[in-house]
Structure 1
Amino acid sequence: MMFTDYLKQKKHSGSTISTYSKYLACFTEWLQQEQLSADVITYTELLDFIRLLQSLNKSKALINAILCPVRHYFNYLVAEGQRTDNPAAGLFMKGIIRRLPNNLLSYDELVHLYECYQLQLQVDASKKIILGLFIYQGVTTEELKRLYATDIYLKEGKVFISGSSHSNERWLRLEAAQVLDLQAYMKAGKFKTGPLLQKNKKRKASANNIVNQVGVMMRQLRQLNAKVIDATQFRSSVITHWLKQYNLRQVQYMAGHRYVSSTQRYKLNNIDDLQNALQQYHPLK
């Protein structure tokens, strides 16, 4: 079995396999130059490879990106019986500062937006539903595109969010107000085919249609709160709020994060702590 076949078995996408193959080539070329073999190379020799990348002024983020397929490659060799261990396991470049979520809205601000949106502005039902899914379930715009009527379970008061190559599937609870809005919306329309929140049912389902709806909605919401930026800001605010109520693994599931490190970025006690962290890592400091 070839390494690319191994990656396909592990359900990696074609683009990921292509990127991994390109980065792995850096490693295999180095092995040839140093007359080393992947089936016997040691952890200490791998450190020499990292030092070479550093001497070539490769960033820490790029070095970590190169090390990722190297770890997969050693797992492949173990699976093929060519090694008994993975010397690159746990080998990461440290000191990378992740971009922190900022400009967050408090949970009270989010709920106030939801309550006032349809009362103070002339909006259709689909936008109110989209806003509710942003605020109470922390969904992404990409997930809205994949939402179908069959994903809504009104009797159970739950919604199923399907997974993708970047996120995990999950079941999330609907608020009572959302159930009523969804019930009326679904009763008024026919959603046997196409996304649930597709605005114009006469046209072929278009991903951009929902993106446009969200863009219009954000401009409307700024009339209620000038701090509103976009859907990503809403999701960051919701995840930060969840971490005050639930443990890290619970929030990882609720957010659909594939890796717990993605959730840990939001694990700060409150918005003030987050602003302090941003000031600490400000480039002018």
Structure 2
Amino acid sequence: MKTKQPTLSEFLHQWLAPQSVQNYLYTIENFLKLHPKAKRYMYKDMVNYLAAVRVMYPNIQTTIRILSAIKKYYDFLVWTGQRTDHPCQTLTVKTGSNHSIQLQDLFTSIELEMLMQRENRYRHLENRNKVLLSLLIYQGLTSDEIIRLDVDNIDLDNATVLVKGSNKLHRRTLFLQAKQIQLLSKYIHHTRPEMLRSKTSKLIITKLGHPITVDSINAMVEPLAALFPDRNLNPRSIRMSVIANWMNEKKLPLEQVQELAGHKWPSTTEKYRKMDNLKQRELINSYFPL
């Protein structure tokens, strides 16, 4: 005698409290009503659907609840043998303050260029500061990456800088801009030797001749914030702006931006993509038809 297959409701009752079952069923029924072919959805379909949910419901907790319910639906399909794979098992919704990039608070390429115009009353520091700022606004390096740069990481002949990897970011070789070559050549061959007070291989040093620290970089950038009193200018927001500009101003492919930024995951880079209102409407209409 053939065993009767459990219903979705019966399956959910094995795992959830009664009230949660009702909430999950409501969400799943709405999902299936809007997406009658959802039984055959693949990972890419679910990624696009989740993106539409994020646009439709800005509250992160709503997105988490919807994804949790839909995951249980696909758990049910796998458990009952209707599918052999789970299209959204590995999908997650990142929570916390950094789950989205506030692109409107960042800086354009033209605004970042303004930082290079600042003059310094100390002759040596002006050259050093421009070198440091150029690595922030052209290569989008983090403060930690800058303090770990050695002189031999700069290849003036090939116009490249070798950026060391870390547990958060990939090692990478980035091209220098033409305007940086002269700055770096002057700094490495003239300014830095005159500033040096102790033996070190580190590229960027302080006015006292010692390797620069992250705090010193923050202190150097801080006075520049007066240029943009309504926004938060710091090394981190500069890097974020550079990445956003690669993506949205220069229209570089996501894979290239990921490589330039040293991101380990494409999803980290994707957060910097600006979606215009038309694309938002198209995405919502595709997955939430009226």
TM range (shorter): 0.5 to 0.7
Contact 1:136 1:175 in 2 (8 A): yes
The yes-or-no answer on 1:198 pairing with 2:183 is no
**Deviation of residue 219 (structure 1)?**
2.4
One-letter identity of the residue aligned with 1:177: K
**Deviation of residue 92 (structure 1)?**
3.3
Partner of 1:99: 100
The yes-or-no answer on 1:239 pairing with 2:243 is yes
Query: 5+ residue gaps in structure 2?
Result: 1-11, 21-59, 65-83, 279-290
Return closer, same or farther for 1:196/1:119 CA change in 2, 3 Å cut-off. closer
Which of 163, 166, 185 is equivalent to 2:165?
163
Partner of 2:213: 210
Partner of 1:143: 145
Q: CA RMSD in A?
A: 4.1
CA distance in 2 between counterparts of 1:117 and 1:199 reads: 18
Return closer, same or farther for 1:170/1:49 CA change in 2, 3 Å cut-off. farther
Which of 261, 267, 271 is equivalent to 1:261?
267
One-letter identity of the residue aligned with 1:243: M
Q: Secondary structure of 1:91's match? A: coil
Give per-residue Cα distances to partners, 1:144-177, cap 9 Å, x unaligned: 1110111101111111111111000111111122
Partner of 1:35: none
Give per-residue Cα distances to partners, 1:6-42, cap 9 Å, x unaligned: xxxxxxxxxxxxxxxxxxxxxxxxxxxxxxxxxxxxx
The yes-or-no answer on 1:221 pairing with 2:228 is no
Partner of 2:112: 110
Q: Secondary structure of 1:243's match? A: helix
For residues 48-197 of structure 1, the aligned pairs below 5 Å read 90-94=89-93, 98-102=99-103, 103-114=105-116, 116-118=117-119, 123-188=125-190, 189-190=192-193, 193-197=200-204
Return closer, same or farther for 1:181/1:265 CA change in 2, 3 Å cut-off. same
**Deviation of residue 118 (structure 1)?**
2.9
Moved more, 150-159 or 226-235: 226-235
Give per-residue Cα distances to partners, 1:69-125, cap 9 Å, x unaligned: xxxxxxxxxxxxxxxx998984334585823234111111111222x1237997432
Partner of 1:279: none
Give per-residue Cα distances to partners, 1:221-242, cap 9 Å, x unaligned: 1243434521111111111110
Contact 1:127 1:213 in 2 (8 A): no
CA distance in 2 between counterparts of 1:243 and 1:146 reads: 26
Return closer, same or farther for 1:202/1:135 CA change in 2, 3 Å cut-off. closer
Contact 1:197 1:210 in 2 (8 A): no
Alignment size in residue pairs: 200
**Deviation of residue 129 (structure 1)?**
1.1
Contact 1:118 1:128 in 2 (8 A): no
One-letter identity of the residue aligned with 1:214: I
The yes-or-no answer on 1:248 pairing with 2:250 is no
Contact 1:240 1:267 in 2 (8 A): yes
Q: TM-score, normalization: structure 1?
A: 0.58
Q: TM-score, normalization: structure 2?
A: 0.57
